[in-house]
């Protein structure tokens, strides 16, 4: 009986978090029916959790429309998060990169389930291609995810690559292929994922490091394969790496080895060699 009660409590917490995330990441007010359909839950269950979240201040209900939006306490938690500083620091360099390249620019950080999109700066094209903030991209099938785990500890790499579903015919699922790609990322300082998450879409990402030389996030260019080919031109790659280096520097990173052009640098790179050894089994 106690175990059944515990499982019920855990499920209730998960639903409450799902409801909160659905509203917070939607970018607009949401109604009960809309939330229930998105989460594949009953309206009654969603409504009960909405009442609790409103009562605690995490959500607020618009009395005119009966729809829900993020509340004062939810916004306060966001401001207290260390990632709030990352978003604030990254936004300027990301806008500069967007203005320079015209493509959408995406900032992601690591979670246990995937690369969490923190901020998206829409491109200048009339047809917008981007990733919704709050989305979690699979590590194995996204440039953002692979870049981060390429510089991660071996235990994190193992957990991140435990599940490798095929999302498109181009999605890499063999561990040896992924390990070789991560080694290339460490060597070159960036990675791509042409049509691996969605047909017709490519992303090129570079790592962001903090004051401790730890990869804490990634910044990516996202666009159609027409304008962001599988092998991006050097001009785009250099602009992307310069943006990542600028953000890293603002976070306290004092090095530069991760952002050097591999074709022109002949010096040894101890940190990159270490990362390559982590990947090998």
Percent of the chain with pLDDT over 70: 87
- What residues have CB less than 8 Å from 223, skipping those under 6 apart? 103, 104, 123, 125, 129, 201, 202
What pLDDT, on the 0 to 100 scale, is given for residue 189? 95
- Is residue 59 within 8 A of residue 20, CB to CB? The reply is yes
With vertex at residue 100, the alpha carbon angle to CA 126 and CA 142, rounded to the nearest 5 degrees, is 75
Choose among 80, 102, 83: nearest CA to 91. Answer: 83
Tell me the three state secondary structure of residue 276: helix
Which contiguous run of DSSP H or E holds residue 158? Answer: helix 154-160
Query: Mean of the per-residue pLDDT values for the chain?
Result: 85
Give the model's pLDDT for residue 7.
63
Residue ranges and CATH numbers for the domains of the chain are 2-78 (1.10.10.10), 81-279 (3.30.450.40)
Q: 66: left (phi > 0), else alpha (psi -120 to 50), else beta?
A: left
Q: Determine the pLDDT at residue 225.
A: 94
pLDDT at 142: 95
Residue 200 Cα to chain centre, angstroms = 19
Give tens-digit pLDDT for 190-203: 999 999 999 999 99
Residue 217 makes CB contacts below 8 A (sequence gap 6+) with 86, 90, 107, 108, 109, 110, 118, 148, 207, 208, 247
Q: State the pLDDT at residue 82.
A: 62
What's residue 271's pLDDT?
43
Asked if 101 and 239 count as a contact pair (C-beta separation under 8 A), the reply is yes
Amino acid 106: pLDDT = 96
Show the CA angle centred on residue 163, arms to residues 157 and 164, nearest 5°: 95
Tokens 């002949």 sit on residue: 266
Measure the CA–CA gap between 173 and 163, rounded to whole angstroms: 9
- Give bridge partners of residue 110 from the DSSP assignment: 115
Per the CB < 8 A criterion, the answer to whether 230 and 194 are in contact is: yes
Contact predicate 281/182, CB 8 Å = no
Q: Which of 134, 115, 114, 108 is nearest to 21 (CA)?
A: 134
Query: Which pLDDT belongs to residue 140?
Result: 94
Centre a 10 Å sphere on the Cβ of residue 85 and count the other Cβ atoms it contains.
12
Low pLDDT (below 70) residues in the chain: 1-8, 78-84, 261-281
Number of H helices and E strands in the chain, helices first, is 10, 8
- The strand pairing partners of 203, in sequence order, are 222
Q: Is 10 exposed, middle or buried (0-12, 13-18, 19+ CB in 10 A)?
A: exposed
């Amino acid at each position: 009986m106690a175990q059944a009660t515990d499982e019920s409590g855990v499920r209730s917490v998960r639903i409450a978090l799902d409801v909160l995330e659905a509203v917070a990441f939607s970018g607009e007010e949401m109604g009960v029916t809309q939330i229930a359909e998105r989460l594949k839950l009953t309206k009654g269950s969603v409504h009960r959790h909405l009442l609790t979240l409103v009562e605690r201040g995490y959500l607020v209900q618009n009395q005119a429309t009966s729809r829900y939006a993020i509340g004062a306490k939810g916004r306060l938690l966001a401001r207290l998060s260390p990632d709030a500083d990352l978003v604030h620091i990254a936004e300027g360099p990301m806008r500069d990169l967007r203005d320079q390249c015209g493509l959408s620019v995406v900032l992601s950080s690591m979670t246990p389930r995937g690369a969490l999109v923190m901020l998206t700066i829409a491109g200048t094209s009339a047809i917008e291609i981007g990733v919704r903030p709050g989305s979690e991209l699979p590590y194995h099938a996204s440039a953002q995810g692979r870049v981060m785990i390429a510089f991660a500890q071996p235990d994190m790499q193992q957990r991140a690559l435990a599940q490798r579903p095929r999302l498109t015919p181009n999605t890499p699922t063999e561990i040896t292929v992924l390990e070789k790609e991560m080694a290339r990322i460490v060597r070159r300082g960036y990675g791509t994922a042409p049509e691996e998450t969605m047909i017709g879409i490519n992303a090129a990402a570079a790592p962001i490091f903090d004051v401790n030389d730890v990869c804490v996030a990634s910044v990516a260019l996202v666009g159609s394969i027409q304008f962001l080919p599988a092998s991006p031109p050097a001009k785009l790659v250099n602009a992307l790496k310069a943006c990542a280096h600028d953000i890293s520097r603002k976070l306290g990173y004092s090095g530069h080895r991760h952002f050097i052009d591999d074709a022109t640098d002949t010096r040894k790179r101890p940190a990159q060699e270490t990362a390559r050894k982590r990947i090998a089994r």
